[in-house]
Structure 1
Amino acid sequence: MMHIATDVSTTPELPTQKRLAVFWAATIVALALHNAEEWLLGLTGWIAAHPWLPGRSLHGDQEQFGLALVIVTAAILTVAVIAVSTRAKWSAEALVCVAYALIANAAGHLAISVASWSLMPGALSGILILLPLSVIIVRTLPPVRWTMSITVMTVIAAVAIVIGALLVAAVLAPIISAL
C-alpha cells in the first residue's frame, strides 16, 4: 500500500551559505544581463518613442541611463557581497525581497510591451532570465515574514535604488563627460 504524505508544508529549510552565494551570484549576473539588454537595445530611445509613458524624463540620455544601470547593479552587488562575506542572517530574506522586485520589473516590462504593442528593451531578459530565477529563489528560500514595515521598506528600497541611481547618474554624467 502506498503511503501518501499528509504534511503539505511548503516552507523550505534554511539554505546553506553555498546555496545563498550561488543564488546571489546568479541574481547579479541576471541583473547585469537584463541591464545590458536595456542599454544595448536603447531603452531611453524606446521610451522617447512612446511619449505616453510616465517617467520619460527620468531616464535622461543614453549615457546617463547607462551610468544609472551601473549604479543599480553595483548597489545590489554591494548588498550581495556584504551578505555572503559576512554570512549575514538577513541574507536569505534580503535576496527574496530582491527577487520579488525583479519579478515586478519583469512583469512591468511585459505589461508595457503588451500595452505599447512593441517589445520593450529588457522584456526578453525579464521574462526569460529574471522571472524564472526569481521564482526559483522565492520558492526555494524560506518565505519572508511580510509585515507592513518589511513591505514598505522593500518598496522604498527598490524605488530609492532606481530613482536614486537615475538622479545620481544625471549629476555625474556631465562631470564624467567633461573629464
Structure 2
Amino acid sequence: MNTPHVVVVMGVAGTGKTTIGPLLAAHLGVPYAEGDDFHPEANIAKMSAGTPLTDEDRWPWLDSIGAWALGRGGLGGVVSSSALKRSYRDRLRSAAPGLVFVHLTGERGLIEDRMSHRHGHFMPTALLDSQFATLQPLGPDEAGVAVDVSGGPEEIAGRAAAALRELGAKPRGQLTSQ
C-alpha cells in the first residue's frame, strides 16, 4: 500500500499504549493522538471511582476515535485505544475502514507492576482484572500484529514498527531505526 495506515495501539491498561504510541508514530513519521483524550468526563469519573465502563459508555468514545482516524485516512496516524473487544474494533473500522491494530501484550504480573508505579492516571490497578476478562485478542481476519511489552519502550516501539513493515503498513518516508 502506498499511503500510510492509521494504526490503533491497543491492549489492556498498563501495557504502555500512551508510551509506545508516540514512539511508534515517530518511527512511522505520522501524528499521534492519545485515546484517553477522547473520553467524555463521565467515563473518566467512572473509571477513577473504580467502576468499569459499559459498552454504552464506550460507544461515544470509540466514535470520537473513529472520526479522528477517518480524518487521517491517506495521511496516516497512530491513536491509542484499549479496543479490548472485537465489537469495539469493528466499530472503529466501520468509522475508518483500513485501520491496522498493534496489540500490546504481556504477562499480567508485569502489567500490574507497571500500573502500580505510574502516577496521576485515572485507571486504578483494581480494574485490571476486568480488562483481562473483557479482552478478545485480534482475530486471524483482523489487520494487525501482537507485540510483547517486555523490554524498554524504544525496543517495543521498534518491534511494533518492524511488525507493521512485515504486515505491509508503509511509513511516510524512511524509518529512523531498523
Larger Rg over CA atoms: 1
Q: TM-score range by the shorter chain?
A: under 0.3
* TM-score with structure 2 setting the length: 0.26
* TM-score with structure 1 setting the length: 0.26
The structure in which a higher percent of residues are helix is 1
The structure in which a higher percent of residues are strand is 2
